[in-house]
Amino acid sequence: MKSCGVSLPAAASAATRSIGVAGNDDEKMASAKATEIEKDFPKLTAQEKDCLAGIDSTLFGFHGLQEDGARTKALLLKAVSCFEGHILKAEGKVDPGVFCQLGHFNLLLEDYQKALSAYQRYFSLQSDYWKNAAFLYGLGMVYFHYNAFQWAIKAFQEVLYIDPSFSRAKEIHLRLGLMFKVITDYESSLKVCMMAGTDKKVLLEKIFVK
């Protein structure tokens, strides 16, 4: 058999160089892609990150009533853009909490489709999602918006189960009462409405008029 003219050490060395070149090319492509993503998406300042740290689904329906409502909305839009850029750059290696926060921000912006998508990603990645009351509340609000009452009821009940003193507990009771009424479970409707109390006129108007 004729020799191909290349010794094994030489072939190995050539293969190593080839792999090295390919590896460098991949790294360059990944770096270029990351740079493009960074150019396309804005970055949050330290002050903006501090502001966002205190924002979650429990502010739904109220952030627009503040004097700086317009600025809050602008910050949320910027945050959504930044988070989406981070997710693209990470290429699948994303902390589940990022999706949860993204869900909160989209919920506050009333972009329910994006909120649901982000919450579902968090649900699939975070094994102990059921411990996160703000997540369950946000998910329940999205289901409520889409009239998926059975799912919304389940999410809201889980919130009350893990955190009976949840900041929006009375509102949850009222929403549960409304949903039970719609599905003709009048006994449960009356029960949860009584638990919510009768001195929450603002919440009643918000739920039944909106």
Indicate the range of 80-84, 105-109, 166-170, 195-199 predicted with least confidence.
195-199
Give the up-direction half-sphere exposure of residue 122: CA atoms within 13 A in the CB hemisphere: 24
Residue position matching structure tokens 């009333």: 110
Q: The pTM is what?
A: 0.72
Joined tokens for residue 63: 């952030």
Domains defined along the chain, listed by start: 46-188 (1.25.40.10)
Supply φ then ψ for residue 46, to 5 degrees: -60, -40
The pLDDT of 101-110, averaged and rounded, is: 95
Q: How many helices (H) and strands (E) are present in the chain, helices listed first? A: 10, 0
Amino acid making up residue 186: Y
Q: Is the pLDDT of residue 36 over 50?
A: no
CA 74 to chain centre: 18
Q: How many CB atoms lie within 10 A of CB 69?
A: 12
CA distance 30 to 60: 38
Place of tokens 């910050």: 75
What's the confidence (pLDDT) of residue 34?
A: 41
Using one digit for the tens of pLDDT, what is the confidence trace for 54-102? 889 998 987 554 556 778 888 899 999 999 988 888 777 889 999 999 9
Q: State residue 66's pLDDT score.
A: 56
pLDDT at 45 (0 to 100): 86
